[in-house]
Amino acid sequence: MSHFIQLHLLTSYPPSNLNRDDLGRPKTAFMGGARRLRVSSQSLKRNWRTSDLFESAVDGHLGTRTKCLGGEVYKRMRTAGANEKVSGSSAEKIAGVFGKLRKAEKGEKHEYEIEQLVHVGPEELAALEALADTLGAENREPSDDELKGLLARRPTAVDVALFGRMLAAAPSYNVEAACQVAHAITVHAAEVEDDYFTAVDDLNTGNEDRGAAHIGEAGFAAGLFYLYICIDRDLLIENLQGKAELADRAIAALVESAVKISPKGKQNSFGSRAHAGYLLAEKGDQQPRSLSAAFLQPVNGEEQAVKAIEKLEKQAQAFDDAYGPGAERRFVLSATPEYEKPALKGASTKGDLQALQAFLQGDD
């Protein structure tokens, strides 16, 4: 099997506010002398891994990101019969395995909250719950051996295996991400506009005041986004304890989520859900590289979708001509009606999502 899988997506979004900055406006980036719209990789990964599509595809192999492990231990132990003192001390010790606890302010209820989010696998969460139930029933604190047994060095959670985790309190249990996701940026220059809106009070029917009950502004913009994803399949299998079949399920779930799942930002206001219009998949042992350089010069004018595809494929070919083939095999998935066939040299093929997933999982 190929070491690396690289995905290049082009997705068009109508007026929207997919991923907001600290002022509530669409995020942007400056590239190639022009302001672009941007969707952060954090936003993309969050929406993929929490989608029903992803969860059903990896059935039972999904991790949990939380600060509340200590609070869950405390509640389970109290329910099982432990007293308040033993439950509190145990919650601190168990949560401390995963990270440093946040100090409760004076007069504040102790929630046993970890300072940073931790990503735990289903085996680790099950072990934590089982230990809490046992300690609660026996009204005692955990031993050192019981605490050491809480962490799985390689949890079989596909989102942990794909996107990694860092445990500051136990760095030997960190997991290196097998998947890198770039920030999506528009292939053209873009400006954030303001939507001035009002809301009317339905019960204010008198003649004295028929003005708006609320006035507001919301930033929005539209654009065609380029997104780059790279998967280290060998590392993904290693992260999943050698389970190649589970790794293939994870890759299939990630790819389908990437082409179908939109960020949730302001969806009720803009209804901007979209599917990718184009995807170029590459696999091989070659050193990965993004094709974002194709859009250093913004795509202008009409027929942006076809022009963006042409620029992307030409950039891939230019890299091939300069440094040798960037992949052993390539596959194109297109939902752009004007696009006819790949311009790339070599064994590029074209098909639907099912054929793409077979391509990614098939032997070379």
Taking only the tens place, the pLDDT of each residue in 10-50 is 999 999 999 999 888 999 999 999 999 999 999 999 999 99
- For 4, the token pair is 């690396």
pLDDT at 109 over 80: no
pTM comes to 0.92
Amino acid at 209: D
Q: How far apart are the first and last CA of the chain?
A: 6
Could you give the CA distance from residue 37 to residue 231 in angstroms, rounded to a whole number?
25
* 54-58, 83-87, 121-125, 348-352: least confidently modelled range: 348-352
The per-residue pLDDT for range 175-208, each reduced to its tens digit, is 999 999 999 999 999 999 998 888 888 877 666 6
To the nearest 10 degrees (0 to 180), the angle between helices 244-260 and 41-49 is 110
SS3 285: coil
Average pLDDT, the chain: 92
pLDDT of residue 347: 61
- For 8, the token pair is 């290049």
The per-residue pLDDT for range 126-153, each reduced to its tens digit, is 999 999 999 999 999 999 999 989 987 7
Report CA dihedral (98, 102, 108, 109) to the nearest 10 degrees.
0
pLDDT of residue 33: 94
Handedness of CA 57, 61, 66, 70 (dihedral sign): positive
pLDDT of residue 205: 67
Q: Report how far apart, in Å, the C-alpha atoms of 3 and of each of 156, 274, 275 are.
A: 20, 30, 27
pLDDT at 282 over 70: yes
- For 358, the token pair is 């077979």
% of the chain at pLDDT higher than 90: 76
